[in-house]
Amino acid sequence: MSKYIASIDQGTTSTRCMIFDHDGKVVSVAQMEHEQIFPKAGWVEHNPAEVWENTRKVSAEAMAKGDISRGDVAAVGITNQRETAVVWDKNTGEAVYNAIVWQDTRTDKIVEELGGSEGADKYKDKVGLPLATYFSGPKVKWILDNVEGAREKADKGDLLFGNMDTWVLWNMTGGSDGGVHVTDVTNASRTMLMDLDTLQWDESIAKDMGIPMSMLPEIRSSSEVYGKGREKGSFPGVPIAGILGDQQAATFGQVCYEPGTAKNTYGTGNFMLLNTGEEKVMSKNGLLTTVCYKIGDNKPIYALEGSVAVTGSLVQWLRDNLNLISSAPEVEDLAKGVEDNGDVYIVPAFSGLFAPHWRSDARGAIVGLTRFANKGHIARAALEAVAFQSREVMDAMNADSGVDLTELKVDGGMVVNETLMQFQADILGVPVIRPVINETTALGAAYAAGLAVGFWKDEDELRKQWAEDKRWEPQMDEADRKRLYAKWNKAVQRTLDWAKD
Ligand code: G3P
């Protein structure tokens, strides 16, 4: 009997392969970063060939490190940065352009034109999303409109589109030699092209965006066998049996299976998802309606999502663009060296502002500077920006659902930062809880794959594997919480005012 499930986590900054045992413990892991390409202000790209190469390498490395043989792996799950769009030639397997990353704002004009007189909410009833640069559909349109020869090839049926899940799956299952062209409902729900009720592509929206239907992958559930690993790869003949966009995967890994349960992931950006069960709740407060997961033939489960574009990547920016720190964890030491933020606020609107504002024209600001401000205050303001943005999202969630969240499960790279976690609890006014297995994204995809092949029996079995590691209780008094949050809102307003000029 196979002992493990492998999970490929193709994220914004790196690709990982993690191998889990039956208790959900990590037995082996390998990780590689890929290049972030910034050709112009507001543009962000990845090289799809590099991403696929790294996927192959980390898979082989994780298997070798753990001394795991192919027969030991019962199934593979895939989870991925969502929305990032790849268009490739199905005959050669080569991408016609770099992947356009979810953070990229080059489609702002396209998005405006698509909305026309109906504005940003033109497709919202169908797809649950406002028209914004974030989503894949307009990125595909940009590639077809701007890459020489792409539209002709697409019309001939030679080009395929996929998010990173589809790109990785197609290559893992043989590429131009029989690769499976499939996505799951969670990834499809981020393209602006999928009808949330039918869970099928909406032909009229695809037509508005000039995207031929032949380019689109088949939409399947999040947990079923899509295909088998190619003979030459690390998982020959192993079923690839789970796909979830990374935020939905983290929600699944955090066992948020009941309506009303929520998690917040602290990665490049922050993403809070609230399970709303079989009910599709339409937001009135700037949140997205999205598919949370669909296990095999079961009914789809929906979620409300608050997406914040820049949180962890703000710390990277302090490291790489300002050289304020030499490694990301140093931000906490710097922040702890000062008593408070010294009245400094950073609003990192590098990709405009996502939830709940949806303003692609907003631009970042540091406000409140005086001669007193030092590196520590900047570091502290950066951490606080992460927490304040999550507060905005939680307020929207409470308003939309009509029920206040009483606690928040957290995961992702930044939850080791105690200063941030305490401030998060303080500014939300509810306890923040970290699980023992913090690798919830990779774990969620492993769970989906494992369920499909009977490695785990059902959600009840998975629920029992979740355990609390640490809890931060709010310690700030209400007056301080109000005062700081009001200041933050003032700072946000500056980034919106800036955009108007
Ligand atoms: O929607 C974008 C999100 O999926 C990216 O997540 O963890 O790669 O920052 P992450």
Continuous segment of H or E residues that includes residue 462: helix 459-463
Strand ranges (E), 246-283: 262-266, 270-277
Q: Residue 41, SS3?
A: coil
Q: Residue 104, SS3?
A: coil
Distance CA(378)–CA(346), nearest Å, equals 8
- The response to whether residue 268 sits with its C-beta less than 6 Å from ligand 1 reads yes
Q: What is the pLDDT of residue 1?
A: 67
Distance CA(48)–CA(50), nearest Å, equals 5
Give 446-458 pLDDT, tens digit per residue. Answer: 999 999 999 999 9
As given in the structure block, the two tokens for residue 172 are 């893992």
- The response to whether residue 246 sits with its C-beta less than 6 Å from ligand 1 reads yes
What ligand 1 atom has the least distance to the C-alpha of 190?
Answer: 1
pLDDT confidence band for 351 (50 / 70 / 90): confident
- The response to whether residue 426 sits with its C-beta less than 6 Å from ligand 1 reads no
Selection from 355, 230, 215 nearest residue 284 by Cα: 355
Give percent of the chain with pLDDT exceeding 70. 99
145 contacts: CB under 8 Å, gap ≥ 6:
110, 151, 210
Selection from 450, 445, 37, 22 nearest residue 252 by Cα: 445
What ligand 1 atom has the least distance to the C-alpha of 312?
Answer: 9
Region 123-140: what's the mean pLDDT?
96
- The response to whether residue 134 sits with its C-beta less than 6 Å from ligand 1 reads no
How buried is residue 131: exposed, middle or buried, by Cβ count under 10 Å (0-12/13-18/19+)?
A: buried
Distance CA(467)–CA(447), nearest Å, equals 16
As given in the structure block, the two tokens for residue 36 are 């972030």
DSSP, res 36: -
What ligand 1 atom has the least distance to the C-alpha of 81?
Answer: 4
Query: Given a cut of 70, is residue 137 above it in pLDDT?
Result: yes
Report residue 76: phi and psi, to 5°: -120, 135
Q: Which residue has the tokens 């700037």?
A: 286
Task: Using the mean position of ligand 1's atoms as its centre, give its distance from the Cα of residue 271 in Å.
Answer: 8
Q: How many CA atoms lie within 13 A of 197 on its CB side?
A: 4
As given in the structure block, the two tokens for residue 297 are 């033939």
Region 84-109: what's the mean pLDDT?
96
> Which of 246, 290, 305, 316 gets mutated to test ligand 1 (max ligand atoms within 8 A of its CB)?
246
Question: Whole-model pTM above 0.90?
Answer: yes
Q: What is the pLDDT of residue 260?
A: 87
Report residue 178: phi and psi, to 5°: 95, 15
Question: In this predicted complex, what is the ipTM?
Answer: 0.92
Give 49-90 pLDDT, tens digit per residue. Answer: 999 999 999 999 999 999 999 889 999 999 999 999 999 999
Q: Residue 26, SS3?
A: strand
Give 203-255 pLDDT, tens digit per residue. Answer: 999 999 999 999 999 999 999 999 999 999 999 999 999 999 999 999 999 99
What ligand 1 atom has the least distance to the C-alpha of 441?
Answer: 7
Task: Using the mean position of ligand 1's atoms as its centre, give its distance from the Cα of residue 245 in Å.
Answer: 8
Q: What is the pLDDT of residue 314?
A: 96
Strand ranges (E), 267-388: 270-277, 288-293, 301-308, 345-347, 365-367
Selection from 126, 301, 274, 305 nearest residue 205 by Cα: 126
Q: What is the pLDDT of residue 501?
A: 61
Q: 86-89 and 262-266 as β-strands: parallel, antiparallel, unpaired? A: unpaired
Q: Which residues of 146-156 are buried (b: 16+ CB within 10 A; e: fewer)?
A: ebeebbebbee
Q: Residue 103, SS3?
A: coil
Q: What is the pLDDT of residue 121?
A: 94
Would you say how long the chain is, in residues?
501
> Which of 105, 189, 247, 415 gets mutated to test ligand 1 (max ligand atoms within 8 A of its CB)?
247
Q: What is the pLDDT of residue 345?
A: 98
- The response to whether residue 82 sits with its C-beta less than 6 Å from ligand 1 reads yes
> Which of 7, 33, 268 gets mutated to test ligand 1 (max ligand atoms within 8 A of its CB)?
268
As given in the structure block, the two tokens for residue 333 are 């030491």
End-to-end Cα spacing for the chain: 64
Region 396-402: what's the mean pLDDT?
90
What ligand 1 atom has the least distance to the C-alpha of 12?
Answer: 8
Q: 73-80 and 4-10 as β-strands: parallel, antiparallel, unpaired? A: parallel
Distance CA(293)–CA(312), nearest Å, equals 25
- The response to whether residue 81 sits with its C-beta less than 6 Å from ligand 1 reads yes
How many CB atoms lie under 10 A from the CB of residue 212? 17
Give 151-182 pLDDT, tens digit per residue. Answer: 999 999 999 999 999 999 999 999 999 999 99
Strand ranges (E), 187-320: 218-220, 223-228, 239-245, 262-266, 270-277, 288-293, 301-308
